[in-house]
Amino acid sequence: MPIFNDSGRIGAPTPLARPEQIRGAREPQRTGTTERERSAQRGEITRTIRDTTKGVEIALKVPGIHYSGMTYDKLIGILAAQGRDFAATTPTMRKHMVAEVTIVYENAVKVPTMKALKESLGESALGWIVRRFAHKVRDERLAALSPAYAKSKKRDGYGRNPIGVRTGALAARVQDFGKVKLK
């Protein structure tokens, strides 16, 4: 019976993937009576990830000084005070973090350590914040620009940029050097 090969056309069967090509296949599942002798079950891993993210808050730190002369952390604080909190921890963000990190560890043989788990959750949260700057996620309501500032922004040639982005320096700095710490 013909099946679709990689090109999407009907033809000869595509060879099956070798075990070393499948993520997590290098370490076979272990069976045993003690926790050390057996592999973790997916439910254990999922519960650990879910429990770690319950009620978690994040702290975004961005090193360096913005071209305006203030630190990036201070600028993020000013935006938050103005109703544009790009580093806010929302339920939608937490759900995304759980889903993304669960996918990373779905084939794990052991429950991830807290350090590895927090690192993965931090990377996921940072990615979510970067998408907020690009206006690809809208889980946090951002306050509208004042009419005077919107007019000034448009006059200076930045009118098409989303709220929170004038030149893109802050968003680029967050993406390249931002660090998220879980509280």
- Judge whether 14 lies within some domain: no
pTM of the predicted protein model: 0.73
Residue 12 pLDDT > 60, yes or no?
A: no
152-173 confidence digits (pLDDT tens): 878 888 777 777 777 888 999 9
Residue 64 pLDDT > 60, yes or no?
A: yes
Q: What is the DSSP letter of 166?
A: S
- Judge whether 111 lies within some domain: yes
Q: What share of the chain is helix, strand, coil (3-state, %, to 5)?
A: 40, 10, 50
Average pLDDT, the chain: 80
Number of domains in the chain: 1
Residue 113 pLDDT > 80, yes or no?
A: yes
- Judge whether 113 lies within some domain: yes
The sign of the CA dihedral 129, 133, 137, 140 is positive
Domain housing 72:
57-145+164-183
How much is the pLDDT for 69? 94
- Judge whether 109 lies within some domain: yes
- Judge whether 48 lies within some domain: no
137-150 confidence digits (pLDDT tens): 888 777 777 788 77
